[in-house]
Amino acid sequence: MSVEVLATAKLNLSLEVLGETPHGFHELRTTMIAISLGDLVRADLSEERGVSLDLSGDFSEGVPKDESNLAVRAVLELLERCEHSGGVRLALEKRVPAGAGLGGGSADAAAALLAAREVLGLGEDTEMDESILGALGSDTVFFRAASAGHALCEGRGEVVSARERVGDWSILLLTPSVHASTADVFAAFEPAGDSSEPESAADFSNLSAAEARLELRNDLEAPALSLYPELAAWRNALDAAGLAHARLTGSGASFFALFEDRSEAQKALSELLERSSALPKPSLACVTSPSHGVCMKL
């Protein structure tokens, strides 16, 4: 028996850095959506105890296969908590680049957990899954809790409030060939002089693309651009191509822009790439759409 799951990637439609906790973590308020682009995770029963991982795909180079991989760690923790003596063989096709702000590793962990539960014959346990994922990283719980693929995430990102689905937008997605370090970007972040907070975070449920564009925000974009000249060059290219509303997702390195229909997004992407031919080729450039769910079983 095999179970395949699409590990849906994510975008940060808004990202506010509210301050730093006494423990050195940054307090965040971010609205995220899942998108139809994602890695493919398959789980099979194994005769050997524990977890093994096979890798493939355009972005598999450099991805670890040991316990430093979040997908492996998630399933190992599941086996331990359930006191299960069996084994799971994972296969991961990497379609999402690392260091891109798309949450690929976190999504892989949530997808692997879902697939492993099914092949092992374990029942659903949302509380356990969210506990496992929350211990692995700040945005991992989103990929379990955002039932409609849209949520407000607070704290370090692990406090997730699910929201209704967003519109059927088309999304221009471009990832320059830069591996952005989340730690370095946060270290370079400087709070604005005015520390007042908005009363509430924007709710993107059912907004048109034009309406959603007005609410896009990312406090980490400025420090990321200051650290990575190639990102700054693409920011200039986007502005010159009439895509000033495009935003960085997470700490980078991917930019996205919202459109009402696919043909409009595809035309904008083609024109952007043509105008920017002197820049290094991006590692990913495509048109995708919101996924109205997370970790979709295939």
CATH number, domain at 181? 3.30.70.890
Residues 29 and 145 in one domain: yes
Query: CA-CA distances (angstroms) from residue 36 to 9, 96, 182, 184?
Result: 7, 11, 23, 28
Residue with tokens 């908590």: 81
Binned at pLDDT 50, 70 and 90, residue 21 comes out as: low
Residues 203 and 64 in one domain: no
> The tokens of 48 are what?
């050997």
Binned at pLDDT 50, 70 and 90, residue 201 comes out as: confident
User: Active-site residue numbers?
Assistant: 10, 139
**289 Cα distance to chain centroid:** 14
- pLDDT score at 23: 61
What DSSP designation does 192 have?
A: -
- Write 151-154 long-range contacts (CB < 8 A, 24+): 151/31, 151/32, 152/29, 152/30, 152/31, 152/201, 152/203, 153/28, 153/29, 153/30, 153/31, 153/32, 154/27, 154/28, 154/29, 154/30
Is residue 295 assigned to a domain? Answer: no
pLDDT tens-digit readout, 205-251? 989 999 999 999 999 999 999 999 999 999 999 999 999 999 999 99
Q: Which of 120, 140, 163 is the last residue of a domain?
A: 163
Judge whether residue 89 has pLDDT over 70: yes
Q: CA 256 to CA 104: how far, in whole Å?
A: 16
Residues 158 and 11 in one domain: yes
Residues 188 and 45 in one domain: no
pLDDT tens-digit readout, 127-172? 999 999 999 988 999 999 999 999 999 998 899 999 999 999 999 9
Which residues are registered as beta bridge partners of 287? 172
Binned at pLDDT 50, 70 and 90, residue 22 comes out as: low
Burial class (CB in 10 A: 0-12, 13-18, 19+), 62: exposed
Q: Span 187-213, mean pLDDT?
A: 83
Q: Span 75-104, mean pLDDT?
A: 96
Contacts (Cβ under 8 Å, ≥6 apart) of 68:
none
185, 191, 192, 193: CA torsion to nearest 10: -150
Polymer length in residues for the chain: 298
- pLDDT score at 162: 97
- pLDDT score at 1: 83
Judge whether residue 197 has pLDDT over 60: no
184: number of Cβ within 10 Å: 13
- pLDDT score at 194: 61
Q: Which of 139, 135, 132, 40 is CA-nearest to residue 90?
A: 40
Residues 8 and 107 in one domain: yes
CATH of residue 35's domain is 3.30.230.10
Q: CA 6 to CA 52: how far, in whole Å?
A: 19
What share of the chain in percent tops pLDDT 70?
96
pTM above 0.85, yes or no: yes
Judge whether residue 26 has pLDDT over 90: no
Helical (H) or strand (E) element with 104 = helix 104-120
Q: CA 190 to CA 178: how far, in whole Å?
A: 22
Residues 49 and 90 in one domain: yes
Classify 289 as helix, strand or coil: coil
205: number of Cβ within 10 Å: 14
Q: CA 263 to CA 266: how far, in whole Å?
A: 5
Q: CA 168 to CA 112: how far, in whole Å?
A: 27
Residue with tokens 């502005």: 239
Residues 182 and 108 in one domain: no
- pLDDT score at 187: 92
Residues 151 and 22 in one domain: yes
Binned at pLDDT 50, 70 and 90, residue 196 comes out as: low
Residues 142 and 251 in one domain: no
**Number of domains composing the chain:** 2
- pLDDT score at 191: 85
Q: Which of 163, 191, 221 is the last residue of a domain?
A: 163
Q: Which of 99, 244, 243, 284 is CA-nearest to residue 185?
A: 99
Residues 76 and 175 in one domain: no
Q: CA 150 to CA 92: how far, in whole Å?
A: 24
* Domain range enclosing 218: 170-288
